[in-house]
């Protein structure tokens, strides 16, 4: 009987080919596009935008002043930007998500495998699952309809060393049928709205305003 070793080796090489083809992309001022249906390693640029097209799979993606956009059904590792926004279409998936002043938004069916952290950037979720928690200093947070955050929410203190907080109070909304399993800890004044159908952990540092309309009242 003929040996099957050459055939087996060929099968293993073909199976490994997609992983071997994954390359890292490192730019300075140019945009990066991960093409639809393709697989990549890490994506990194300084002042360029990063676009991950529908069905693409990548490693970590980071930029300093550019935006990061994930199209429908795309998947990435950790996402990080300083002043750019992070926007994900429906059914996009990522690891942890971090921004300084840029906003973060994940649409319905989104999945975040880690935490969401910003300093002043706003955070918005619609029908999205977050395995970790959410933390910001002065950004607004909307845990929108049908979203599920397994960790808690923390608003950090932002003061001048004399116990005085700067800026307007962040607006925190926990929407219809949303769940925040962990504690909600507010180290500075906030305006907190919780829908009557939402479920949250213990709230410290704020008193929730209950609402029953599709969207929270205007401040």
Q: Which two tokens stand for residue 207?
A: 């008193």
Least confident range from 107-116, 121-130, 162-171: namely 162-171
pLDDT for 31-50, tens place per residue? 999 999 999 999 999 999 99
Q: Which two tokens stand for residue 81?
A: 């930007």
Q: Rg for the chain (alpha carbons), in Å?
A: 21
Q: Which of 74, 85, 79, 3 is nearest to 36 (CA)?
A: 74
Angle at the Cα of 135 from the Cα atoms of 31 and 159, rounded to 5 degrees = 105
Least confident range from 17-26, 78-87, 150-159: namely 17-26
**Number of Cβ within a 10 Å radius of residue 79:** 27
pLDDT tier for residue 164 given thresholds of 50, 70 and 90: low
Please give the distance of CA 204 from its chain centroid, rounded to a whole number.
24
CA–CA distance, 131 with 72 (Å, rounded to integer): 20
Given this model, what pLDDT does residue 167 score? 76
* pTM of the entire predicted model: 0.87
């Amino acid at each position: 009987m003929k040996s099957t070793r050459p055939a087996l080796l060929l099968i293993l090489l073909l199976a490994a080919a997609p992983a071997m083809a994954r390359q890292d992309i490192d730019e300075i001022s140019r945009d990066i596009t991960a093409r639809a249906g393709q697989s990549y390693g890490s994506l990194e640029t300084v002042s360029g935008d990063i676009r991950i097209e529908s069905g693409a799979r990548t490693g970590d993606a980071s930029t300093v002043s550019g935006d990061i956009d994930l199209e429908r059904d795309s998947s990435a590792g950790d996402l990080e930007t300083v002043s750019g926004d992070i926007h994900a279409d429906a059914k996009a998936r990522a690891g942890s998500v971090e921004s300084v002043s840029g906003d973060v938004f994940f649409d319905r069916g989104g999945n975040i495998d880690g935490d969401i952290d910003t300093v002043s950037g706003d955070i918005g979720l619609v029908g999205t699952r977050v395995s970790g928690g959410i933390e910001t200093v002065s950004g607004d947070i909307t845990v929108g309809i049908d979203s599920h955050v397994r960790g808690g929410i923390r608003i950090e203190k932002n003061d001048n060393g004399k116990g005085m907080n700067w800026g307007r109070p962040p607006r925190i909304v926990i929407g219809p049928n949303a769940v925040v399993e962990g504690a909600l800890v507010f180290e500075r004044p906030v305006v907190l709205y919780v829908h009557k159908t939402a479920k949250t952990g213990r709230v410290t540092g704020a008193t929730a305003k209950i609402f029953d309309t599709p969207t929270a009242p205007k401040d």
